A and B are shown apart, each in its own frame.
Chain A
Amino acid sequence: MSNRLETYLEEISHFLSGRVEREEILSEIRSHILEKAAAEHGEADDAALDKVIAAYGQPRQVADKYLDDRPIIAPAYRRYLFRYTTLLFAFHALLTVFAVLFKKDFILFPFLFMPRLGVIEALMYLPTAFLADLGVVTLVLYFITQSGKNVRLPWPKLAVDLDEVKPPTKNFFLSRIGTAVGAVVMLAITDFALYLFARHHTIFFVNLDFANPRPLFTAAAGRRLSMIVIAMFAASTMTLLVKLFTRSRWVDAVSNVISLALIGLLLRQPFDNLFAVTVPEKLLPKIRFGLKFLLLFIAVIVTVDLVQNLVVLGRKKLAKSA
């Protein structure tokens, strides 16, 4: 028996894995190829088999035609993949915020285990949680699809569905003007912040007298915090500049990730000996809680925006592959 033919059948067999009648299918293809080679080329030698095999098609395409058309997730349920993932992730994100703020564990065995998290751990945890949520929803929709039953999935009528977020349809030129103005403003803010930093090693002051400024934070803390905030300004400026040339959601997604990383850095800064001005002792814990809450709130908003961007990118990819 020709090695070429057996290799070809072996490849088809690989793509047919799981089919009970695999051997039967391969026997029939083998029979056909040998028959055709002998009938049309005189004998079933290697040269003849090569031609017949080439005409029969690529192994994966051949195997595909034997496979059922039933998709992993039925088209009717595809939109629920992102709807439910978004819902589940929102719940997950909320619990994460609680776990950080109130330093609590959340256990709902076997569905949920959220240990007490630090801020950085929480920010690292969120993308993992998103993927896990996506996996769980995919699995449920897969089982519903495979059951073949007409299951009506519930979904509340919300004003805006996250999976229906569409790219802006504004006039191309007008939207560019807005972005350009934003980029110029952000560039000016970044430059001004850099100027202040170069001159005073901080950008946080308690007065507006730049000839004789009084810094808000102690020297080391002021320098660290200023550098992070300037990095945020610079990242926003870069994003706006790049968006002058492309509307790709990837730009927004990357910008979101950078923002989250910088917010994480801000949250990690030590609070003790932060202020260069006198702050009443009683107020310090409240200020600390307020700042932490504000930064976490911003982090959640950025995360939701990141999820929106990833959802739109995911849907585009699905639409392309459909």
Chain B
Amino acid sequence: MTDPDIGSMETEMNRGFLQILVLALLEKDMYGYSMVKHIEGLGYKVEENTLYPLLRRLEKNGWITGKWDLGEDRPRKFYAITADGRAMKAGLLEVWDNQNRILNEIKKENVHVQ
């Protein structure tokens, strides 16, 4: 049996995951490229052209704030999580933990069935 093509399903799953990931990362001020590299270092890849629109949406919702730093040799926009963003992150992590727990339960049940 060949490996299933999970491409489009993975993209769908990533949508929610990326939001939690970014909110979790931004406990420390970071700019776009540094986030891409950091995530890559953790063994996960995020498309650059997906990250920036996501940052813009999170900023629009008031969950993160962005501020241009013009001090370095080239301008960078640094992002940080807001209080609302922290509350959102806590809520999302709770959902995610619950989903994980349910999946693990089912996996255990399936082992017993087999």
Contacts and interface: CB of A to CB of B under 8 A. Distances in A.
Contact of B33 (A27, A35, A57, A62): A35
A39 interface: yes
14 contacts: A21-B56, A27-B77, A29-B52, A31-B74, A31-B75, A31-B76, A32-B52, A34-B74, A36-B48, A57-B49, A65-B50, A65-B53, A66-B53, A66-B56
A56 interface: yes
B56 A32 contact: no
B56 A35 contact: no
Contacts, number: 40
Given A25-B52, A36-B33, A65-B53, 4 more contacts: A32-B33, A35-B76, A57-B47, A57-B49
A57 B51 CA distance: 13
A28 interface: yes
Interface of A: 21, 25, 27-29, 31-32, 34-36, 38-39, 55-57, 61-62, 65-66
Contacts of A57: 47, 49
Q: DSSP majority for the A interface? A: helix
A301 to B, nearest CB: 45
Given A27-B75, A39-B33, A32 B48 contact: yes
A25 B56 CA distance: 9
B57 to A, nearest CB: 9
B49 A62 contact: yes
Most chain A C-beta atoms within 10 Å of own C-beta, residue among B32, B49, B52: B49
Contacts of A31: 31-32, 74-77
A56 B48 contact: yes
Nearest to B52: A28
User: What 5 A-B pairs are tightest by C-beta distance, nearest first?
Assistant: A65-B53, A35-B33, A57-B49, A62-B49, A66-B53
Contacts of B75: 27, 31
A55 B76 CA distance: 20
A56 B49 contact: yes
B53 A28 contact: no
Interface in B65-88: 68, 74-77
